[in-house]
Structure 1
Amino acid sequence: MAEPLNVALAGLGTVGSGVVRLIETNAELIARRARRPIRITAVSARDRTKDRGVDLSGYAWEDDPLAMAERADVDVVVELVGGSDGPALALGRKTIANGKALVTANKAMIAHHGIELATAAEQNGVALKFEAAVAGGIPVIKGLSEGAAANAIDRVYGILNGTCNYILSTMEDTGRDFADVLADAQRMGYAEADPSFDIEGIDAAHKLSILAAIAFGSRLRFDAVDTMGISRVLAADIAQADSLGYVIRLIGMAGIDRSDGTPRLFQRVRPHLVPFDHPLAHVDGATNAVVAEGNFMGRLLFQGQGAGDGPTASAVVADIMDIARGEKGAAFSMPAGELEAMEAAPTGHRVGRSYIRFVVADRPGVLAEITAAMRDTGVSIESLIQKGRGEEEGSVIVSMVTHEVPEQAVTQAMRILEGADSIKAAPLVMQIIEA
């Protein structure tokens, strides 16, 4: 058998400890499948004394993770520090510059600096791998870049954040409101003390921008992702959606818009209404799922655990095994210099059905005011429900579903209603995914 592949590991949190545990537990199987042993030689973390449930005594300890990029007994550095910049990026740059392969689960760093790192990796003849950065243990990056490589991908979309999916599906099952379920999720460790990256859609936007680059051969455009989270979704919205035959899910969606003949990149992360008979409607809890639609393969569904020590560690070690077998490949499925720079696609002309929820004053004439704004902007109403009281005394909740109309028409209607004293809170608009 060939010489071992030597690995250094920066970051020994949940995922890092899981990587150590997996490599030690399945060492023989991994060696047979990778055609050489995988050996951890050095580790680094902020606290040397913390009990992580794994024995680290056999590995060299580096207080400074950057030192691992210079060790002669390291072939691959695994970065699990996190953060788009700072120590993680410094380690990534130094690892590649020193001719060593880099494996990371850091979606923020890849979303912001992936092209730079991929270019440097190509110039230095080393691998850059980040399967674990998107959807944890689901091999969606490998699926798109290898299994679906011969297809022109029309659209990629899915549930990319387990915290949001847990909150929404729990609201659905229990009838409880957002803040109450979020507090429970924080107590149980499903949500961070500061959950904003998850609940405001930023984490999902990082992942979507990476998927879009791989699926469409476009340069990363995290800055162009239209992002809205789930913090404004009410239990009443969940109930209304259910009565109409839908569930609410935070969906990241990307595609190429060719409406004016010039390809532009469409990327959006927002809560959507998903019909009961759509595969994503049955994705509950902290599960992730990604749908890819190709011109020859049709619809593919990737589903599984999107986080946690086991699934994410599995994706990290799979990347290490690829490197052990000599499989470098382009990080984004094609050389970084060949990725196409695309402008962000405008969304106003996109045609579809929308769900709109208002919290309004409980008095006569309010519905007439809303429907007049819809009429004046050409928005046709398919159904309208007034049901239940708002959180503010003297208010009620009005929900409607539109017929298919351009999104800009709905936007114009909302502008007309801005500042109306009968509207007690900013309306919530959610697009509807068709089955």
Structure 2
Amino acid sequence: MTIPAPTRTLNVAMLGCGTVGSQVARLILGQADDLAARTGAHLNLVSIAVVNAHKARPGIDKSLFTTDSQALVERTDLDIIIEVMGGVEGTRELVAEALGRGTSVVTANKALLAAHGAELTTIAHEHGADLYYEAAVAGAIPIIRPLRESLVGDEITLVIGIVNGTTNYILDQMTSHGADYADALAEAQRLGYAEADPTADVEGYDAAAKAAILATLAFHTSVHFDQVYCEGISQLTAADVTAVGRLGFVLKLLAVAQLAEDDQISVRVHPVILPQSHPLASVGGAYNAIFVESRAAGRLMFMGPGAGGEPTASAVMGDLVTVARNRVRGVAGPAPTSYTDRVVATMGDTECSYYLSFEVADRPGVLAQAASVFGSHGVSLHTVSQIPGDEGDPGRDVPSATLAIMTHRTREHVIRDCVKELEGSPFLRGRVRLLRVEGVK
């Protein structure tokens, strides 16, 4: 089959040319004939806005670079802008300006979308432009388009996933090799999985931005970054990992977006205990994986490399081809909808199963006393186990033991009340360790 030679040219510009951007630019320049055949138009890369135009970027003509990003977005001859410069303030204004001029935008900027996605989507819709962002959540893993298009006729009830490779690598090292948190983080930094300042990753902020995007698409409700409950992994210990491993579970940092029976949604990022049989439990290293449940399609799993220059560039290029095809046809692609206006539940009103461990005096009746605390708050217990303590403090008359309790689903504020009562009980020694559980009925 012979494909007619394209007769149209689309002008493409870029904001940013770092690890991802430079890879995208080289792909556009090096695959010109293939891209023309796939899109029906020649994709002409006309300008790239950067901070330092003199920096060496092999394979990219220096004449393409400019330091005037504002002038770039104000050009009247642009069809598509690829935004890979990152950041929120400043970047928002540039993207809004481009969309307001009818220029379609492809972006990998999760923080921008989590903070201003609804506003930018509206501007794009009003001016007949596309706003595509497959690369913003999980690198090369196709998850945005399935939520935005393939599953849009279904009702999604749960999106849960590993969306940060840094934290997954750290927890995998702690699980598989018995490393403590500090050593696992140092190894992740040595290998380039973690930044010198890993705060955004290990405290869950990166995952929270992605959770906001996923929840917005899954539940047709605009979810802002500030509405996502966020808790990282920096307080987890090797003892936590060992303790849950004894019970047949693993620890993961997960983004969770869930539709409740009362039609509210919970959107949260925090460490989660998963049974080893769960599809996400075996995802190791720096990989990402997202698990989706819907009414009709059932359970779906998406897995792959979630970061890095080449995987992220692949997702950007996929969006570029789609947007270019739309421009050739003179249409904009389907915009995500936010018509439901569902309430985003507070963490206190969110339902989970919970794992609690705490040291107690090892004497008759203590287990019953601890269980009665949960019973008085209407919390049903799933499993209870007692781990004998060491010989303990010679100054203590009564040896100690550790109780490990897993509950059935209950609201967070109820379990917090249980913790408060336990920590005021005379049999308790130390603090209560609380972790959330998924995948247990």
Q: Deviations over 1:140-182 (max 9, x none)?
A: 1111222222211121111111111111111111101112211
Deviation at 1:124, TM superposition (A): 1.2
* Mean CA deviation greater in 342-351 or 232-241: 342-351
* 8 Å CA contact 1:167, 1:178 repeated in 2: yes
Q: How is 1:66-145 mapped onto 2 (pairs within 5 angstroms)?
A: 66-85=70-89, 87-145=90-148
Which residue of 1 is the match for residue 193 of structure 2? 190
Which residue of 2 is the match for residue 241 of structure 1? 244
Which residue of 1 is the match for residue 3 of structure 2? none
d(CA) in 2 for partners of 1:393, 1:25:
73
Provide closer, same or farther for how the CA distance between residues 228 and 57 of structure 1 changes in structure 2, counting only shifts above 3 A: same
2:437 to 407, 428, 431: 431
SS in 1 for 2:129: coil
* 8 Å CA contact 1:159, 1:289 repeated in 2: yes
Code of the aligned partner of 1:40 = L
What RMSD over aligned residues (CA atoms) do the two structures have, in Å? 2.8
* 8 Å CA contact 1:264, 1:343 repeated in 2: yes
Provide closer, same or farther for how the CA distance between residues 37 and 419 of structure 1 changes in structure 2, counting only shifts above 3 A: farther
Deviation at 1:409, TM superposition (A): 3.4
* 8 Å CA contact 1:68, 1:77 repeated in 2: no
Deviation at 1:112, TM superposition (A): 0.7
Q: Deviations over 1:197-229 (max 9, x none)?
A: 111111111111111111111112332222211
* 8 Å CA contact 2:162, 2:288 repeated in 1: yes
Percent identity for Structure 1 against Structure 2? 37
Q: Deviations over 1:265-316 (max 9, x none)?
A: 2212121111222211121111111112122211111111111111111111
* 8 Å CA contact 1:355, 1:431 repeated in 2: yes
User: How does the TM-score come out when normalised to structure 2?
Assistant: 0.87
Which residue of 1 is the match for residue 157 of structure 2? 154
* Mean CA deviation greater in 369-378 or 180-189: 369-378
Q: How is 1:215-230 mapped onto 2 (pairs within 5 angstroms)?
A: 215-230=218-233
Deviation at 1:190, TM superposition (A): 0.9
* 8 Å CA contact 1:290, 1:303 repeated in 2: yes
d(CA) in 2 for partners of 1:172, 1:419:
32
* Mean CA deviation greater in 189-198 or 58-67: 58-67
Which residue of 2 is the match for residue 62 of structure 1? 66
Provide closer, same or farther for how the CA distance between residues 348 and 60 of structure 1 changes in structure 2, counting only shifts above 3 A: closer
d(CA) in 2 for partners of 1:118, 1:58:
33
* 8 Å CA contact 1:382, 1:402 repeated in 2: yes
Q: Deviations over 1:343-363 (max 9, x none)?
A: 2225556655321234x5888
Which residue of 2 is the match for residue 6 of structure 1? 11
Aligned residues: 423
Code of the aligned partner of 2:439 = I
1:47 to 52, 72, 90: 52
* 8 Å CA contact 2:360, 2:403 repeated in 1: no
Could you tell me which runs of 5 or more consecutive residues in structure 2 were left unpaired when the two chains were aligned: 1-5
Provide closer, same or farther for how the CA distance between residues 289 and 405 of structure 1 changes in structure 2, counting only shifts above 3 A: closer
Which residue of 2 is the match for residue 413 of structure 1? 418
Provide closer, same or farther for how the CA distance between residues 4 and 289 of structure 1 changes in structure 2, counting only shifts above 3 A: same
Code of the aligned partner of 2:70 = L
d(CA) in 1 for partners of 2:315, 2:376:
52
* 8 Å CA contact 1:84, 1:108 repeated in 2: yes
* 8 Å CA contact 2:36, 2:43 repeated in 1: yes
1:18 and 2:19 are equivalent in the alignment: no
Q: How is 1:157-306 mapped onto 2 (pairs within 5 angstroms)?
A: 157-259=160-262, 263-306=263-306
Provide closer, same or farther for how the CA distance between residues 364 and 5 of structure 1 changes in structure 2, counting only shifts above 3 A: farther
d(CA) in 1 for partners of 2:304, 2:37:
26
d(CA) in 1 for partners of 2:409, 2:259:
20
| Largest Rg, 1 or 2 | 2
Q: Deviations over 1:12-69 (max 9, x none)?
A: 11111111122233332222112222221111222223334x3322542221212211
Could you tell me which runs of 5 or more consecutive residues in structure 1 were left unpaired when the two chains were aligned: none
Code of the aligned partner of 1:298 = G
* 8 Å CA contact 1:355, 1:432 repeated in 2: no
Provide closer, same or farther for how the CA distance between residues 428 and 397 of structure 1 changes in structure 2, counting only shifts above 3 A: farther
Which residue of 1 is the match for residue 307 of structure 2? 307
Code of the aligned partner of 1:80 = V
Which residue of 2 is the match for residue 384 of structure 1? 385
SS in 1 for 2:138: coil
